[in-house]
Amino acid sequence: MDSNRSNRRDAPGPGKQEPSSGRSKAKNPWTERSAKQAPAPQPAEQEQPLTVPADEFPRKHVHQDALRVISRLSRQGHEAYLVGGCVRDLLLGRTPKDFDIATAAHPRHIRRLFRNARIIGRRFKLAHIFYGDHILETSTFRAAPRPEDNGEGDDLLITDDNAFGTAAEDARRRDFTINGLFFDPIENVIHDYVGGLADVEAGLLRTIGDPTVRMAEDPVRILRAIKFATRIGFRIDDSTWKAMCENSGELERAAPPRVLEEIMRLCVSGTALGAFRMMRASGALAVLMPEIDAYIGKRDDPDPVAHDRADNYWRLLEALDADVHAGREPSRALCLAVMYLRVVERELDPETRTLPGEPNDVFDVVSDVLEPLVQDSRLPRRTFITTRRMIVDQERFKKRPGSDPRSLVFTTTDGFDDALDLYRLRSAAWGQGWAMYEAWAAARAETAKASPDALAALRKKGRRRRSRRPRRRKRGGGASE
Ligand code: ATP
Ligand code: MG
């Protein structure tokens, strides 16, 4: 497959709700200067970093606490830099989520210097430095794992990663060139051991070092590549993409909780549509969520029904992305419901069911579909239960609110807002039921205003209705109590 082409084809197209790529803002003179260094230096050969003045770096966006930690470390003679995602994001004119620090100081030095530091990690120790509820992750430079730290024989999978190293080694063990840059706020320079500056300028995502080795070492990097490429709109370098496709099967060996975490991040990124398309194109979706991959089907399936199915799936993800762009933060339970709703519907229909046996009710089908995630990925049971409730409750939106007192009681229950969120996304995605959504949202607003007495009366009315049912059935001669 022409990786590059498929890459472009599967990346979210222009006009889709994607966060604006920070690239257009990356017009700092020093990044332009660095672009002249292209082609990017080969990391393994480059002992000295490319050091570039960061005059135009938006230093004022660096958190004061981070500057405080770095100046104290360097006053004590320890090399210390901002590193990783925050440097990348600042270069792109984006707001960093957090500020990570890498230093030559050992955890015990950090502990001694900062009374507000707590050492965490069992194997590789790093420090969390607390300023109120703001935490700065401060880690000691780490070396790349030695061959004896990996799996057996030729197996490259990293199973142990806990050796301290130099700044250069620390940069090279990171995943992508754009994530391997160091910013020194004291000297106001960027140190680039890995060719990251040129790649930021070129809008290119590539691994540090041999992509095949780096993806085999840690297949979760496949999902991370997808996350960064879709989030910041970078093109994935051809050989990195090829290694992603070739190693997608290795994702089976990655720790399921880590994988689930990355997938959840993709869901709330605002670019879930592009990310899922890229997961499918790379083969990762077939390995990680085969039911979803099978539901979406093959790109080249000539059957128009299959295309409609895929289209409907994509539209729901698009609605989720639109929610994120509107400033909402979808819960994990909602993400899960969006991912699996169509699969559940398929399993409920005896015509399309793929699981063995006859479908039971929707409650059981959701359990059948999601139970493996609870078992393998340590999906919190509470999230699973909320998702199941959301999907089961969709049925109730078929009737208008107020058609019986229980429907109004439903609007006051804990799970109502979640279920209505899912219904709203469905309506937005598939263009049906919007009037019904508005009616339920209005009913919810009304009951929210109701006095406690009025609510109590409503609940009583709803309960009375429900309790009459078994008696009626008993009179019919069927049900026994
Ligand atoms: P985000 O904005 O999503 O937090 P990030 O780049 O900060 O992006 P983190 O998961 O917070 O990502 O990791 C911080 C840094 O640690 C990365 O920028 C990268 O340098 C390094 N890193 C994280 N995960 C890996 C990995 N699997 N392999 C190698 N390096 C990694
Ligand atoms: Mg981060």
Ligand 1 atom nearest 97 alpha carbon: 2
Give yes or no for residue 174 CB within 6 A of ligand 1. yes
pLDDT of residue 375: 87
Residue 311's pLDDT is: 93
Q: Is the shortest distance between the CB of 84 and ligand 1 below 6 Å?
A: yes
What's the rounded mean pLDDT across residues 148-152? 56
Going by C-alpha positions, the residue among 365, 354, 351, 220 that lies closest to residue 294 is 354
Residue nearest to atom 18 of ligand 1 (CA): 84
Is pLDDT at 125 greater than 90 in this prediction? no
In a domain, 298, yes or no: no
The verdict on the CB of residue 218 being under 6 Å from ligand 1 is: yes
Query: What pLDDT, on the 0 to 100 scale, is given for residue 408?
Result: 85
Residues in CB range of 397: below 8 A, 6 or more apart: 419, 420, 423, 433, 436, 437, 440
Looking at residue 226, its pLDDT comes to: 98
Q: For residue 191, which phi and psi values (nearest 5 degrees)?
A: -105, 130
Give pLDDT tens digits for 94-103.
Answer: 989 899 999 9
Within-domain flag for 345 = no
CB atoms within 10 A of CB 38: 14
Render 16-35 in DSSP notation, one character per residue: SS-PPPGGGG---HHHHHHH
CB-ligand 1 contact for 179 (6 Å cutoff): yes
Q: Average pLDDT for residues 339-355, to the nearest whole number?
A: 92
CA gap 368, 187 in Å, rounded? 58
Is 213 part of any domain? no
CA of 176 to the centre of ligand 1 (A): 9
Residue 375's alpha-carbon distances to 340, 379, 381, in angstroms, are 16, 7, 9
Task: Give the distance (Å) from ligand 2 centre to CA of residue 86.
Answer: 7
204, β-bridge pairs: 235
Q: Is the peptide bond before 39 cis (omega within 30 degrees of 0)?
A: yes
The helix-helix angle for 272-282 and 238-247 (nearest 10°) equals: 70
Q: What is the pLDDT of residue 468?
A: 47
Instruction: Answer whether 170 contacts ligand 1 (Cβ < 6 A).
Output: no
Lowest mean per-residue pLDDT among 33-47, 265-279, 285-299, 309-323: 33-47
Per-residue confidence (pLDDT) for residue 448, from 0 to 100: 85
CATH number at residue 90: 3.30.460.10
Active site positions, annotated: 98, 100, 175
Q: What is the pLDDT of residue 407?
A: 82
Higher-confidence residue of 97 and 198: namely 198
CB 390 within 8 A of CB 422: yes
Nearest atom within ligand 1 for CA of residue 220:
27
Substitution site in 87, 162, 174 for ligand 1 pocket (most atoms within 8 Å of beta carbon):
174
Between 57 and 10, the higher pLDDT residue: 57
Q: Is any atom of ligand 1 closer than 6 Å to the C-beta of 475?
A: no
Nearest Cα to Cα of residue 266 among 324, 215, 211, 313 = 324
Say how many Å lie between the CA of residue 46 and the centre of ligand 2.
26
Tell whether 115 is covered by a domain.
yes
Q: Best substitution site from 89, 135, 179 to test ligand 1's pocket, by max atoms within 8 Å of Cβ?
A: 179
In tens, the pLDDT along 33-47 reads 333 333 444 444 447
Least confident of 93-97, 137-141, 474-478: 474-478
Average pLDDT over residues 451-476: 61
Does the beta carbon of 221 lie inside 6 Å of ligand 1?
Answer: yes
Per-residue pLDDT at 127 exceeds 80: yes
Mean of the per-residue pLDDT values of the chain:
84
Closest C-alpha to ligand 1, atom 17:
84
Compute how many other C-beta atoms are within 10 angstroms of the C-beta atom of residue 275: 29
More confident residue, 303 or 435: 435
Q: Name the pLDDT band for 460 (thresholds 50, 70, 90).
A: confident
Atom number, ligand 1, closest to the C-alpha of residue 221:
27
Q: Is the CB of 217 under 6 A from ligand 1?
A: no
Mutate to test the pocket of ligand 1, among 63, 90, 175 (most ligand atoms within 8 A of CB): 175
Q: List the domain range (segments joined by +) for residue 155.
A: 41-194
Residue 78 lies in a domain: yes
pLDDT band at 352 (very low <50, low <70, confident <90, very high): confident
pLDDT score recorded for residue 343:
95
Are the C-beta atoms of 138 and 101 separated by less than 8 Å? yes
Name the one residue in this structure whose structure tokens are 């301290």: 164
The helix or strand, by DSSP H or E, that contains position 51, with its residue range, turns out to be strand 50-53
Confidence band for 27, pLDDT divided at 50, 70 and 90: very low
Count of structural domains, the chain: 1
Ligand nearest to the CA of 85: 1
Mean pLDDT across the stretch 334-350?
95
> Which band of pLDDT confidence, cut at 50, 70 and 90, is reported for residue 22?
very low
- Note whether residue 129 is domain-resident: yes
- Give the residue, by CA position, lying nearest to ligand 1 atom 16: 84
Given a cut of 80, is residue 154 above it in pLDDT? no
The pLDDT of residue 333 is 96
Q: Which pLDDT score, from 0 to 100, does residue 376 have?
A: 86
Q: Point out the ligand 1 atom lying closest to the alpha carbon of residue 265.
A: 3
pLDDT at 454 (0 to 100): 77
Mean pLDDT calculated for residue range 294-304: 86
What totals of helices (H) and strands (E) does the chain contain, helices first?
Answer: 22, 10
Half-sphere exposure of 477 (CA within 13 A, CB side): 0
Q: How confident is the model at residue 447 (pLDDT cuts 50, 70, 90)?
A: confident
Q: Is residue 3 part of a domain?
A: no
In a domain, 200, yes or no: no
Ligand 1 nearest atom to the CA of residue 180, by list position? 20
Q: 80 CA to middle of ligand 1, Å? A: 17
Q: What is the mean pLDDT of residues 295-299?
A: 88
- Strand partners of residue 140: 103
